[in-house]
Every structure is written in structure tokens, then in C-alpha cells.
Structure 1
Amino acid sequence: MSTQLTKITTNKAAAPLGHYAQAILCHDILYLSLQLGITPENPDLPPGDISRQTTQVLDNVSEILLAGNSDLSQTIKVNIYLSDIKHWEIVDKVYRQRLGNHTPARSVIPCSKLHRGYDVGLEVTALQRSVGA
């Protein structure tokens, strides 16, 4: 049995910083690579504060999901990587505002600073919307 893997790409989210896809679609499930709050129009901007980083990373994730025929309401699992757990309250506030009543499974993983000095990154798994939905 052959499994079809489809690479999902959009220029409305930050371009990959290495040899990986923004997302892969397999059996109606989207697997997003770790996303940072990099602004696609100006990727050399400094990261900014944690609220701005969280807003931008959610914007990037949303655009990649849209490119894969999905959206934040279809997320089933989110891993949040934080450089310092002290950022948690702000990240959670921005996250709650964006996802509303939708509460996918979620993990928070403390780590060192992320690539290019970012403090928050999201790795997302989501369902693709049904055709015609």
C-alpha cells in the first residue's frame, strides 16, 4: 500500500529556515513543522516581545493550515515550545483569544531559546476539512 505525502507551502507564512516543509499532508491529517513568529514580509525583523511573537506564530500557523484546506478549529494537537516558562501566562492568553472555545490536546515544552532568538514556537497537527465543508 502506497501512502501519498503532499507538501504544503504558502508564501503567507515564514519560509522554512532549512531542509523541511512547512507542512505535510498524509491521510487527511496535516503535520506542521515547528513554526516561529517570523514575519513573512520581513524575516530579518528581531523577534519582538512574547505577545507579538505568539500572535505572529499563530498567524503563520493559520496561513499554513489554510493552504492545506484547514484552520485553527481543526487542530487536534499543539506542542508549544517556550524558552522560559515565565512567558506561559502571556502565551496562553493570546492562544485562548485566537482559539476561542476550541481546546485541542496541548503540551508545553520548556526549552532553550529557539532559532534566531525566538522564545515561542508551535508544532501543530490538524485535520483537513472535508471537501465542500
Structure 2
Amino acid sequence: MTSTVQPIAPQGLAAPGGHYSHATVANGFVFVSGQLPIAPDGSKLAAASFEEQTRQVLDNVRAALQAAGSGIDRLVQVRVYLDAIENWPAFNAIYAEWAGDARPARAIVPTGPLHFGVKVEVEAVATV
């Protein structure tokens, strides 16, 4: 059985900064690439507060999901990369509000410094 992989380029997100798609759809799933706190105009929010960065990242994940015909309620797994584990409580509070009733599997990974000096990155898998 051959599966088609469809790249997704959501409107409202800055163009990818490398050789990847913001999301791809295959076999009934959408795979969202790691989203950084990058505004739609391409500005990197490295100097913004952790809370502002987190909200931008989650807005980016939502936009990628919606462009693929999915949504937060269809999340299967979420992986979160934090520059410092001390940011976990703040992330968890914002994430709980964003996710609402959705409770996908989730991993939190403290990484140390992230690309561009940002504090948070999120990738996800959902059904279409």
C-alpha cells in the first residue's frame, strides 16, 4: 500500500526557516513540525516573556493543525522542549487553557538553550 505525504503550508505562519514543512499529512494523521515563537511576520520572539513565547508557539501549532484539517481536539501526542525545567509550571498553565478538554499524550523535555535563544518549542501529532 502506497501512502501519499502531503506537505502543509499554513497561511498566517512565517515560511519555514529550513528544508521542512510546518506540517505533513499522511495515513490520517497530521505531523506538526517543532514550532518556535516566531510571529506571522517572521520576527523571532526571543526577547519576549516566556508566557508570550508559549502563546505564540501554541498559536502556531493551532494554525498548522487547522490548515491540515485537524484541531486541538484531535491531538494524539505533544512534545514540548523547554530551555529550563523551571518554566514547566508556567507552560502547563497556559497549555491547559489552550488545550481545554483535550488531553493528548505529552512529553516535556528540558533542553537548555534552544535555536535563536527562544525558551520553548512544541511539536505535535493529531488525527485529520
Regarding TM over 0.5, the answer is: yes
In structure 1, the partner of 2:6 is 6
Task: Extract structure 1 runs of 4+ deviating beyond 3 A.
Answer: 44-47
| Letter in structure 2 aligned against 1:61 | V
| Letter in structure 2 aligned against 1:84 | A
Following superposition, the deviation at residue 17 of structure 1 comes to 1.3
What's the TM-score once normalised by structure 1's chain length?
A: 0.91
Count of aligned pairs: 128
2:90 and 2:118 mapped to 1: Cα distance?
Answer: 15
In structure 1, the partner of 2:105 is 105
What's the TM-score once normalised by structure 2's chain length?
A: 0.94
| Letter in structure 2 aligned against 1:88 | W
2:48 and 2:126 mapped to 1: Cα distance?
Answer: 27
Q: Is the 8 A contact 1:73 1:102 kept in 2?
A: yes
Give per-residue Cα distances to partners, 1:78-104, cap 9 Å, x unaligned.
Answer: 000001000001000000011112110
| Letter in structure 2 aligned against 1:33 | S
Gaps of at least 5 residues in structure 2 are: none
| Structure 2 CA distance for partners of 1:68 and 1:93, relative to 1, 3 Å | same
2:126 aligned counterpart, secondary structure: strand
In structure 1, the partner of 2:89 is 89
Q: Within 5 A, what are the aligned runs for 1:1-133?
A: 1-128=1-128
RMSD of the alignment, in Å? 1.2
